[in-house]
Amino acid sequence: MYFAIIDTEEVDMINEIMLFTVKPLFGIVLISITISFVYIIGLPIRIYSKLNEWWKAHSIISLVFVTVGIIFLALSLLPYFEIPIKSRIDGKEVVKNMPNELLLNSGWFILTFGLLHYYPKTLFNIISIK
* d(C-alpha 107, C-alpha 115), whole Å: 12
The domain locations on the chain are 12-117
Query: pLDDT tens digit string along 34-83?
Result: 999 999 999 998 899 899 888 888 888 999 999 999 999 999 888 888 88
Phi, psi angle pair for 75, to nearest 5°: -65, -35
Confidence class for position 1, pLDDT limits 50, 70, 90: very low
Helix (H, G, I), strand (E, B) or coil at 56: helix
What's the whole-model pTM score?
0.74
Cα maximum dimension of the chain = 68
Calpha distance 110→129 (Å, rounded): 32
- φ and ψ at 26, to 5 degrees? -60, -40
Look at 16 and 65; give whichever has higher pLDDT. Answer: 65
